[in-house]
Amino acid sequence: MADVRLFLFPYAGGTPAAFNNWPIEFPDSIETNIVYYPGRGSRFNEPPIRNFSVLVDEIHRAILPIVDKPFIFFGHSMGGTIAFELARQLKQRNLLQPQILFVSAQAAPQLPNPNPSIHTLPDSEFVNFLRGLNGIPADVINHSELMELLLPTLRADFETIENYEYVADKNQLTCPIIAFGGTDDPRVKPDHLEGWSIHTKASFKSYYFSGDHFFINTARRSVIASMVTEIKSLNATR
């Protein structure tokens, strides 16, 4: 039986399939749970949520029954901010926090977003932007009919994160925060990533992997190996 539950939060526009290859690479002691946002995967027929707080509240209600053992959050890009705000909500309600909060390819929330808003761009420009991020498989993004189906959900995700507003809270998290970044990520620079350090009373650490904004695909095994090392190290000290 697993000792800890790991919750994986996808990026904007990401489906649960983004983490399909992850579970088999973790040891049996770590149980993986992929978070499904509305509008994708088995929830494809549900309308996507465009309000960040509403989305976090829904996830909070969904995971409460299964945080009955030690758990960990990992979020990539938008998923990192979702995981962070969910951890804050748990703390505000005096509930258990994750043992570790992993934030990946996402700038610290208190920093101004240096990237332009894209959710209102015309379809062709929006799709070209997504193509440049390298996060959507070529066989999907080059399939015009499939992309037509996916565009409302993709736009909703970017609207959600681009309209997110950080509200300062003097009560820092008490779990360690570990930030992952790509050495060639054009959207998240090292100083944006290091800014996460102010959000915890516990330890902060950062790792950098070869790759762009989606280094979790090209450097997946290195990312997972680093996560496993950190999880085992934490549990060994308890």
Partners of 177 in the β-ladder = 101, 204
Q: Active-site residue 77, yes or no?
A: yes
CA pair distance 109, 87, nearest whole angstrom: 14
- The token pair at 51 is 């309000």
Fill in the amino acid letter for 6: L
Instruction: Single out the residue of 104, 99, 103 nearest to residue 233, CA to CA.
Output: 99
Instruction: Single out the residue of 161, 159, 194 nearest to residue 77, CA to CA.
Output: 161
H-run or E-run covering 216: helix 215-218
Q: Given CA atoms 183, 213, 221, 203 in this order, what sign does their dihedral have?
A: positive
Active-site choice (29, 42, 77, 124): 77
| φ and ψ at residue 103, rounded to 5 degrees | -120, 130
Residues known to be catalytic: 77
